[in-house]
Amino acid sequence: MAKHTHPDRLLLAVDCIIIGFLNGQLNLLVTRRDQEPRLGEWSLMGGLVVKGESIDAAAARVTHELTGLENVYLEQFQAFGDVGRTEEERTVSLAYYALVNQESATSQLSEHHDARWVSIRDVPALVFDHNKMVEAALVRLRYRATHEPVAFALLPKKFTLTQLQSLYEAIFDRPIDPGNFRRRLRKMDYLERQNEKDVTTSRKGSWYYTYNAEVYEEMKAAGEEFLLKP
C-alpha cells in the first residue's frame, strides 16, 4: 500500500434534514446561517465533527445547538463530497434526516436561533448543496415510508386514518385512493383502534388509532413485511 506523506486537509461535517408534518403539509426546518461565507442565508442545521466525537453524536449536538431539540431520531442516509461544494476548505458532509412531530418539536425550539418551518414544496434557496440534500432525503423518506413504519414518527401519538392518509399524500405529493389505502391498513395489527373519536371535523367523528411498535417488531421477527404503497 502506498504511503501518503502529504495528505490533503479534509474537513468532516454533518447536515441534518429535519422534517415535520402539520395540517396536511410536509415541512422542513431551516435556519439562517450565522457565519461567513453566506452569512444570513437559509441553511440546513449543520456543523463540523470535532475531535473525539462520533458522527452520530455530532449530528445530535448540531441539531440541539441550532434548534434546542433533544432526543431527535437521526438517520444517516448519504455522503456529499463534491469538490468545491462549499466556499470554504474542502469539506465532506454526512447527511442525516429526522422525522419529528412538528407540533411537539415547535414548542421545544430554542428562541436563541432563527429556526423556522417552511413547506417542503416551497423550500427557499439554501446554501451550498443543501437543496440537493433535501431532494435526496425525500427520495429516501419515500422508500422508507413504503417499506418501514417510519412515517408514524411524524404523527401525534393518537391519529385518525384520515390523518395517516393525508400524511402519505404529503410524502408522495399525490392523492391516494382511500378505499385501497384503508384496506391495506386493516391488515396491520399494530395499528390499534382506541375507544375515542376525533369529533372536530364531523358529528359522526373518526376513530383514533395508535401505532404499537412492539407488536410490529414481533410481527417483523415472524417474517411479516411492511408494505404500504400509495
Per-residue pLDDT of the chain (230 residues; tens, 9 = 90+): 555 555 678 899 999 999 999 999 999 999 998 888 999 999 999 999 999 999 999 999 999 988 888 888 899 999 999 998 988 889 999 999 999 999 999 998 877 778 899 999 999 999 999 999 999 999 999 999 999 999 999 999 999 999 999 999 999 999 999 999 999 998 899 999 999 999 987 788 999 999 999 999 999 999 999 989 87
Crossing angle of helices 161-172 and 130-147, in 10° steps, is 140
Cα 34 from Cα 92, distance rounded (Å): 20
Q: What is the CA radius of gyration of the chain?
A: 20
pLDDT for the residue numbered 5 = 57
- Domain 156-221 fold is Arc Repressor Mutant, subunit A (1.10.10)
pLDDT for the residue numbered 27 = 98
**Tens digits of per-residue pLDDT, 11-64?**
999 999 999 999 999 999 999 988 889 999 999 999 999 999 999 999 999 999
What is the separation, in whole angstroms, between the first and last Cα of the chain?
50
pTM: 0.92
* Domain residue ranges in the chain: 11-147, 156-221
CATH 3.20.20.140, domain 11-147, yes or no: no
* Cβ atoms of residues 205 and 198 within 8 Å: yes
115-119 and 45-48: which strand pairing?
Answer: unpaired
